[in-house]
Structure 1
Amino acid sequence: MSQHKNITILKIGGSVITDKSSDIGKVQIEEIERICQEISGYSNDLIIVHGAGSYGHPLAKKYDLDNIPDPKGAIITHSSVKSLNEIMVSSLQKAGIDAVSVHPLNNTVSNDGRISDMFLSNIHIMLENGLVPVIHGDVVMDITNTFSVISGDQIVSYLANKLKASRVGIGSIEDGVMDNKGKTLTKITSSNFKEIEKFLGVSKNTDVTGGMLGKVNELLQLCEITGATSYIFNAKKPNNISYFLSGHNIGTAIKK
Structure 2
Amino acid sequence: MPSHTIVPGVDCIIKIGGAAITKKDQFETLNGAVLENVANQVRQMYADGIRLIIVHGAGSFGHFQAAEHGICSGGFPTASHSATLKGFAKTRLSVTKLNHLVVSVLVKYGIPAVGVSPLGSWTTENKKIVTDGCSHIAALLSHGYVPVIHGDAVIDTALKCTILGGDPIVTRLCQYFRPRIGAVFMTNVLGIYDKPPGTAVGNISTDYYGPDTSEPKLLREIIVDDSSRTWTAAYLMNRREIDSIETSALEHDSSGGINAKVAEAVDMVMEGTRVRVVKAVLQFSSVICWFMLRKPSGLDLLAVSPFQWIACLGLGVAGQSLNAGIFNAIGHAGVYYGFKLGHKIPWVNGFPFNVVSHPQYVGAVLSVWAGAALVWSQAPQGLGLLALYWTGLYVVTGCMESCS
After superposing on structure 2, the runs of 4+ consecutive aligned residues of structure 1 that deviate more than 6 Å are none
Tell me the equivalent position of 1:25.
Answer: 28
2:221 aligned residue (187, 193, 212) = 187
Tell me the equivalent position of 2:245.
Answer: 199
The answer as to 2:222 corresponding to 1:218 is no
More strand by percentage: 1
Tell me the equivalent position of 1:253.
Answer: none
1:1-256 → structure 2 map (5 Å cutoff): 1-22=5-26, 24-42=27-45, 43-67=49-73, 68=75, 70-166=84-180, 167-179=182-194, 182-191=216-225, 193=231, 196=242, 198-204=244-250, 206-224=252-270, 226-238=271-283, 240-241=285-286, 243-247=288-292
- Of structures 1 and 2, the one scoring higher in RCO (CA 8 A, sep 6+) is 1
Aligned partners of 1:189 and 1:153: how far apart in 2?
19
Comparing 170-179 with 71-80, which one deviates more in the overlay?
170-179
In structure 2, the CA distance between the partners of 1:171 and 1:64, relative to structure 1 (3 Å rule), is same
More helix by percentage: 2
Cα deviation 1:44-78 (Å, max 9, x = unaligned): 21000000001021111101012216111111100
**8 Å Cα contact 1:20/1:206 also seen in 2:** no
Structure with the greater alpha carbon radius of gyration: 2
Q: Which amino acid aligns with 2:217?
A: K
Aligned partners of 1:241 and 1:185: how far apart in 2?
19
In structure 1, list runs of 5 or more residues that go unmatched: 250-256
Aligned partners of 2:17 and 2:32: how far apart in 1?
14
**8 Å Cα contact 2:185/2:275 also seen in 1:** yes
Comparing 87-96 with 235-244, which one deviates more in the overlay?
235-244
In structure 2, the CA distance between the partners of 1:205 and 1:15, relative to structure 1 (3 Å rule), is farther
**8 Å Cα contact 1:78/1:138 also seen in 2:** yes
Q: Which amino acid aligns with 1:193?
A: W
In structure 2, the CA distance between the partners of 1:18 and 1:125, relative to structure 1 (3 Å rule), is same
Identical aligned residues as a percent: 29
Q: Which amino acid aligns with 1:46?
A: L
Q: Which amino acid aligns with 2:252?
A: T
**8 Å Cα contact 1:171/1:241 also seen in 2:** no
Structure 1 residue 164 displacement after superposition:
1.3
In structure 2, the CA distance between the partners of 1:73 and 1:242, relative to structure 1 (3 Å rule), is farther
CA RMSD of aligned residues (A): 2.1
Cα deviation 1:158-206 (Å, max 9, x = unaligned): 1111221221011111211113553322221234636746424133463
**8 Å Cα contact 1:169/1:231 also seen in 2:** yes
Q: Which amino acid aligns with 1:55?
A: F
Normalised by the length of structure 1, the TM-score is 0.89
Aligned partners of 2:71 and 2:165: how far apart in 1?
13
Structure 1 residue 39 displacement after superposition:
0.7
Tell me the equivalent position of 1:254.
Answer: none
Aligned partners of 1:235 and 1:172: how far apart in 2?
6
Aligned partners of 1:6 and 1:136: how far apart in 2?
18
SS at match of 1:116: strand
Normalised by the length of structure 2, the TM-score is 0.58
Aligned partners of 1:106 and 1:100: how far apart in 2?
16
Aligned partners of 2:244 and 2:254: how far apart in 1?
19
**8 Å Cα contact 2:35/2:102 also seen in 1:** yes
Q: Which amino acid aligns with 1:240?
A: S
How many residues end up aligned between the 2 structures? 248
**8 Å Cα contact 1:99/1:133 also seen in 2:** yes
Cα deviation 1:116-137 (Å, max 9, x = unaligned): 1112222112112221000011
Structure 1 residue 242 displacement after superposition:
5.6
In structure 2, the CA distance between the partners of 1:19 and 1:197, relative to structure 1 (3 Å rule), is farther
